[in-house]
Every structure is written in structure tokens, then in C-alpha cells.
Amino acid sequence: MVVPSTEPDWLSPSARLWKMRCLEAGVVGALVTLIAGVSVAQIGAPEGFIAAAGALVATGLALRFLRRRFRSWSYQEREEDLVVRRGVAFRRLSVVPYGRMQFVDVTAGPVERLFKLSTIKLHTAAAATDARIPGLERDEAARLRDQLASLGEAKAAGL
Amino acid sequence: MTSPADGTVQWQRLHPLTPVVRAGRIVSVLVVALVVSSGSGHSHSSNSAQVYYLVAVVVVTLLGGIHWLVTKWALDGATLRIETGLLRRDARQLPVARIQAVDVVRPFLARLVGLAELRIRLAGSSSANGRLAYLSDQVATDLRARLLAGHHGIDPDTPVPAEQLVTKVPTGRLIGSVFLSGGVVFLPLVIGVILLVRVSPAAAVVGGSAFLTYAIGFVQDVWRRISSQYGFTVADAPDGIRISRGLLGTVAETIPARRVQAVRLVEPLFWRLFRWCRLEVDVAGAAGREAGGGRTATSTKALLPVGSPDVAQRLIATVIGDVYPTLSPPPSRARYKAPLSFHFLEAGHSDTLVMSVTGRVRRTTVWVPLVKTQSIRRIQGPWQRRLGLATVHLDAAGKRVRAEFRDRSVDEADRLMDELATLSRVARKADEDTRIVPSSLTNWAKPTQSDGTGGGEETPAGWFADPAGRHDVRYWDGSRWAVHVRDQGVAGIDPS
């Protein structure tokens, strides 16, 4: 990473992605806590409380991991290629030349739609290319999609 | 493009035996079923089963006959036209100029009656490919020569340029190599089962049945590999590397060097005892096993199923050039992360090529031309971070087609990310420029005939003064300039 003057900014997913992850983890964590607590409480009340507490701690740890993972996502639109950075334990940095993009997928699941977010995914002829950016606000996703599509068309290269 | 009016196109049919061969596979299965069911009993149910089989045979043959009736093909100047389909007509026009390769495939049944299938692959999507099944051997070979000659812009009656034989895999070595890769597991198993029978016949029943399942699979695999790669012949032709192989059914295919995404040299542990290796290439847009989930098809093809390193070197040189980048090992602390394969890990790159060596048991050397780069990735696991290492992947089209700079120091990995991105961009740019050049062939003025009649009418095909002025004469095929040139009677090829 040299030439800082021409280097475009690193952008990150929307802060709403973090809220979405909180909601997902919260709902799953609450369910697990409830089920663990109730089912273990059949043996005895103290055990039930311990199990519920354990599930809560696990949820907290999961949230901490999700927080770090959320902050690890970032992308950069360089002149010739898109750079995507992600990962906590396994840190990945992908560089995808615009000319190599075959198509761009924009998807939004039910939960993502609730938060007005979408995920953008780049496909190249290589199956291993894993340039995916989750949690983009709709406008940003549309802008990025159009940008990538037009750049891809302009710089398209044959196999 | 000059194309005669529709009425004058000479439509031709496929060989009349086509329906028989097409149906042959299904029919032979049904006939076996028929024989089995008639031999097994005389009950009412088996009689009705026989009727069903007969009906099925008749229907299959009938459908084949209809297909034959409605299928026509014609070579009409610059396009090969194929029309087929009764209810859904499918009229294909394959521009000869865009042909990538023409393969001749002879399945066993077709081969018995002297028929062959022609597969025409075009540049671009794999869905636009053409298939002519079946033609008689003679027609198939003739048509192939005409198509290739037309593609290179020379007189269609020119015979296929001579190919230069590179190597032929001896049958003994092929069988040996197949057994060495599968039999290494198989033999101890056989011995184990024999011992088991000696010790305890009761346990042998359980072990034996499991072994039998495995043995059937093993035999099938051995048969498939030997029959498909029997008589493997590699030849160097002007349009790529030509391969012919097969025991019962034969395949003659051409691998265009331009379409090669990556070259892999695999040296399994036991093969290394004999200094054997296998050479594979990944080809984009080739007919074959699809990879990449419905996107551009990429298939892995054996360029040499088993051979010596010298022959492999020669083939690599033809496909991607013989200038190897200098390789360097990862830093010595990488031994803590990859204790087994550390001694083999090596990677390096030149301005046009990335080369990497990985694997301990199956040593794999990969070459990826930088112009074929699809994406570049840097991955760092937790253990690697502690050691200050990172891995850089260079992906090419296909599934798991990549060169790996495994366990390099972080500084080097960062530098590589920048360098490889820049180099592949430069390579891509240079490649595009050379691709644009042939359009100058169409931009040049039409040749003028010496008697001055070449005015509004099309100038007939022939050799004319090279419009680029670099050669004595260049071929004009009636509608465009060809890449074929001549200097003092010596033929040559100049794409611009």
C-alpha cells in the first residue's frame, strides 16, 4: 500500500449492519438462553440458572466476535480494481480487477430488508474469488453496482 | 460476407446410420433387460414388461429417425450452418472465423460402423458450440480440414497443416501409473483381507463385503482411466496442442494455447520413484466438465497423463513459453506453520508468469500467466499472524485454479499484492492491444486486381500484395484479409 496521495478512501458497511447483527445475535441468544434455562431447570433450579447464565456469556462472546468482524469489513474502489478486506481470525484481502467481473449480485434477505441493507457480491470466472460486501445501504449498493457494471464493461477483458 | 442465396446452399444430412448409433446405447441396455426378463420366467408380468421394452425401443429409434430427418448442415462460405429440431427449430450459424477448435469424437458404437462426431467450439460462451453427430469418418475429417483452413483464411481445399508428434504414452507406463496411484491403497487391502480370512472367517464376511464394494469401485476407476487415456498421443499443431486418445471410443481434440488459464505439473509420491509426472491444463470455454457454477465453463484436461519431466518441460514451453521466473523459498520460520511441506514450498514471478510449488505427498507446480489473473487474494490465519507470515493466492478461471505464494513474510506479501495487481493489469492491457490488431485486417482496403476490374464487385479470393507492406503477398479470402502471408514463396503467419 504505497502512494498515499492517489489512494482512495477505505469505505465500510453501514452502521446499521452492526444493529442487524445485534438483533440476530440477540434473538438467537435469548432463545438459546430460554431453552437451556428451562430444560436444565427440570433437574434443579440452580442448575437452570447456571445454564442460562452460561448461554448469556456465550451470547456476549459471540457479540464481541461479531463486533470485531463487523469492523473488519472495508472496501476500496481503486482505479483499476476493487479491494475488499475482511476477517478477524483469518484476515483476507481480495483484489478484483474491474475487467474480470462477470456479473455483480445484489441480494437482500428478509432481515436485511428490515434494516434497508443489501449485500453485493462480485463474480469472476474464478470460483475462488470471494469479493462480497455485506450491509450496504440501498443507495450505496445501487451506486456501487452501477459503478462496477459500467467499469466492468469499459475494462472487460477476454479469458 | 458473400453468401449465396438460400436456394443455392448445399444442405447435407447426417449419416443415415445416425439414429441407430444414437439409439444404440439405450437399445443395448433395453435388449439386455429384455433378454434377462424373458430368460428369468414365463409369468404374465414379465410378458408385459417385454412389451414395454419393445415399445421403448421402437419409440427411441423413431425419435432418432425424426431427428435425423429434420437435421441438416451446410458449409456456406464463412459460416457453418446447422439446423435441427422438429417442434423447436434450432438454426445455428457458426462463423468460421470465431472457431476455437474442432474436435473429432468417436464413441465406441459409432467407431464400429465408421462414424464420427464433430464438435465445434467457438470463442465466447460454451452454449454457442456446434455439434454434428454423426458423420462418416471421411466427411468428418474433410469438414474439419475445411473449417480450420477457412478459419486461418486459406483456401478451403488446403489440407490440415502437418502436426509434429511430441510424445505417445506407452501403454505399460499408463497402466503402471494408474495402478501406482490407486493400487498403493488397494494391495495392502487385498493382503489385509487375505489375513483376515485366515484369522477369523466370521469377521471376513463383514470385511469382505466392504472390500468388494471398494474393489468394484477401484476396478471401474482403473478401467475408466485406462480406456480413456489409452494410446495418448500429443502433437504440436499450428492451432494448438492436439491430443488423441481412447481405447474403445476415441477422442481427437485440440487445446488452443490462448485459452489455457493455468498449467499444473503433478508429481505424486510414488510416481516420483520413477520420475513420472502428470501435466494438466485448465482451458476456458472448452467442452467438458464444467466448473465455476454455470458461468464460463472451464475444464481441466490432461496434457500428458504420465510422462517424463523432459517431455513435460517441452509441452509447458509450447503452452506458456519457456522463460521460468526465479523461485524463492518462504522464510525459515514458515517451517513452524508447514512442517511437512516446508522444504518443497517455493514461488516466484516474472513480468508475465507466476509459478509456485506446493505439497509434500502430491507435489504440485502451477504456472499461471499474469494476463489470466481473475483476482488476487491475501490470506492470513491466526498462526500465520503470530509468525508474521501471509499467503497470496493468484486465481485464474475455474475451480481451485490458482498459484499460491504460501507462507511468505508479511512485507513480501504486501509487496506482492501491489506488484501482481500492477503486472497483471499491464499484461492484460498488452493482450488487449494485440487482440485489437486483427481488426486492421478488415480495415485495410480491398485488393485491386491487376486488370483493374476490382471495382464495385467482390474481388475473388487469392494472393495479393500485402497491404501492410511487410510481406510479398497476403491471402484475400474474398471478403477479408487473412493472417497468411508469403515471402518469396515461403508461407508464414502475420496477424497484422
Q: Are A93 and A61 within one domain?
A: no
Q: Verify whether the Cβ–Cβ distance B375 to A80 is below 8 Å.
A: no
Count CA atoms within 13 Å of residue B331 on its CB side.
14
Which pLDDT score, from 0 to 100, does residue A129 have?
82
Residue A68 has pLDDT above 90, yes or no: yes
Q: Are A126 and A55 within one domain?
A: no
Report the alpha-carbon angle B342-B348-B351, nearest 5. Answer: 170
B298 to chain A, any CB pair closer than 8 A? The answer is yes
Residue A83 is part of which domain span? 74-155
Q: Verify whether the Cβ–Cβ distance A100 to B373 is below 8 Å.
A: yes
Task: Specify if A79 maps to a domain.
Answer: yes
Q: Which residues have a Cβ under 8 Å from the Cβ of A49 and sit 6 or more positions away?
A: A37, A41
Neighbours of B291 (CB within 10 A): 21
Q: Are A106 and A44 within one domain?
A: no
A130 to chain B, any CB pair closer than 8 A? The answer is yes
Q: Are A22 and A49 within one domain?
A: yes
Average pLDDT, chain A: 88
SS3 B273: helix
Which pLDDT score, from 0 to 100, does residue B361 have?
86
Q: Verify whether the Cβ–Cβ distance B377 to A99 is below 8 Å.
A: no
Amino acid at B104: V
Positions in chain B short of pLDDT 50: 1-6, 286-295, 436-440, 450-456
Task: Specify if A124 maps to a domain.
Answer: yes
Which pLDDT score, from 0 to 100, does residue B331 have?
93
Q: Are A146 and A86 within one domain?
A: yes
Q: Are A90 and A121 within one domain?
A: yes
Q: Rounded to 5 degrees, what are φ and ψ at A93?
A: -135, 115
Going by pLDDT thresholds of 50, 70 and 90, the confidence category of residue A63 is very high
Question: What b/e string do you get for B449-475 counting C-beta neighbours within 10 Å, with b at 16 or more?
Answer: eeeeeeeeeebebebbebbeeebebbb
Q: Are A23 and A55 within one domain?
A: yes
Task: Specify if A2 maps to a domain.
Answer: no
End position of a domain, from candidates A70, A99, A133? A70
Q: Are A61 and A95 within one domain?
A: no
Q: For chain A, how many structural domains are there in total?
A: 2
Task: Specify if A119 maps to a domain.
Answer: yes
Task: Specify if A118 maps to a domain.
Answer: yes
Nearest CA in chain A to B375: A96
B13 to chain A, any CB pair closer than 8 A? The answer is no
Q: Are A62 and A135 within one domain?
A: no
Q: How far apart are CA B140 and CA B117, in angstroms?
A: 7
Q: Of the candidates A91, A99, A123, which has its C-beta nearest B295's C-beta?
A: A123
Q: From edge to edge, which strands make up the β-sheet containing B260-268?
A: B298-307, B277-284, B260-268, B362-369, B353-358, B346-349
Residues of B in contact with A97 (CB under 8 A): 373-375, 421, 424-425, 428
Distance between the two ends of chain A, CA-based, in angstroms?
28
Q: What is the DSSP letter of B66?
A: H
Measured in whole angstroms, the distance separating CA B7 from the mean position of its chain's CA atoms is: 37
The three three-digit cell numbers of residue B109, written as one number: 458404437
ipTM greater than 0.85, yes or no? yes
For residues A84 and B376, is the Cβ–Cβ distance under 8 A? no
Residue A24 has pLDDT above 90, yes or no: yes
Which pLDDT score, from 0 to 100, does residue A91 have?
93
End position of a domain, from candidates A23, A39, A70? A70
Q: Rounded to 5 degrees, what are φ and ψ at B322?
A: -110, 15
Task: Specify if A9 maps to a domain.
Answer: no
CATH number of the domain residue A109 falls in: 2.30.29.30
Q: Are A101 and A51 within one domain?
A: no
End position of a domain, from candidates A25, A42, A70? A70
SS3 B113: coil
Task: Specify if A39 maps to a domain.
Answer: yes
Neighbours of B361 (CB within 10 A): 12
Which one, of A110, A117, A74, lies nearest residue A94 by Cα?
Answer: A74
How distant, in Å, are the alpha carbons of A26, A57, B433 from that of B429? 50, 54, 6
Q: Are A57 and A88 within one domain?
A: no
Q: Are A55 and A96 within one domain?
A: no
How distant, in Å, are the alpha carbons of B140, B203, B486, B491 from that of B164? 21, 57, 22, 17
Q: Verify whether the Cβ–Cβ distance B296 to A125 is below 8 Å.
A: yes
Task: Specify if A44 maps to a domain.
Answer: yes
Which pTM value belongs to this model? 0.76
Residues of A in contact with B421 (CB under 8 A): 80-81, 95, 97
**pLDDT above 90 coverage of chain A, percent:** 57
Q: How far apart are CA B233 and CA B166, in angstroms?
A: 8
